[in-house]
Amino acid sequence: MRHFRLWNVHNVAVVLSVTLYMCHIAGCISIHSAQRNLSRSVQEDAVFSVDVSSTGVPTIEWTFMSGAGSRSIGTWQPGGNINITADYSSRVRAYENGSMILMDLRLQDTGFYLLTVTEPAGSSKDVGFVLRVNEVLYEDLQYLSITGLALGVVAALLMLVTWLLHKACMKVKAWRLRKQMPGEL
């Protein structure tokens, strides 16, 4: 009886070599991100958390896109210079793993953020993020303060009415006691 082997050591070595070669040619860029849809309020910070890995030293580039057009945020290489554009220089913190923090959010920051990772060989990979910036409605704070004031006035009026009823009740009790005592005058 003959035993058939599907894979021998030589075949496995060939497949692994071809796979590694294809990864090297393709660049094997890997970008991992736990959250790609972000929702924050005005003046908060947005953390675009990613973990970039590649076979070489990649170039990391962030771009902002909205209905008004696209703007470069910054470009850098791990271990190299971080070049943040003038529009974002005071509000962006860049990290070697590709992550970025956009601080002091504005309503205009709502849009699509594109991370492009490019290897020296020229291969690249893109990942998109959506950021929605919500406005803090100060009208809500005014509504809450007016409601609190109105409830305070109602509570004060109820305490006043309770005090007046207590006084009236005491006077009625005193009047009944005087009425029940015979012959005093």
Closest-CA residue to 101 (of 88, 116, 87): 88
Per-residue pLDDT tens digits of the chain, which is 185 residues long: 555 455 555 565 565 566 656 555 555 788 888 888 999 999 999 999 999 988 888 999 999 998 888 899 999 998 888 899 999 999 999 998 999 999 999 999 999 999 999 988 888 899 999 999 998 776 667 778 888 899 999 999 999 999 999 999 999 999 888 888 876 55
Does domain 29-135 fall under CATH 2.60.40.10? My reply is: yes
Compute the distance between CA of residue 159 and CA of residue 131 in angstroms, rounded to an integer. 50
Counting beta carbons within 10 angstroms of the beta carbon of residue 175, is it exposed (0 to 12), middle (13 to 18) or buried (19 or more)?
exposed
> What are the residue ranges spanned by the domains of the chain?
29-135, 137-180
Question: pTM of this prediction?
Answer: 0.62
CA 158 to chain centre: 45
3-state secondary structure of 21: helix
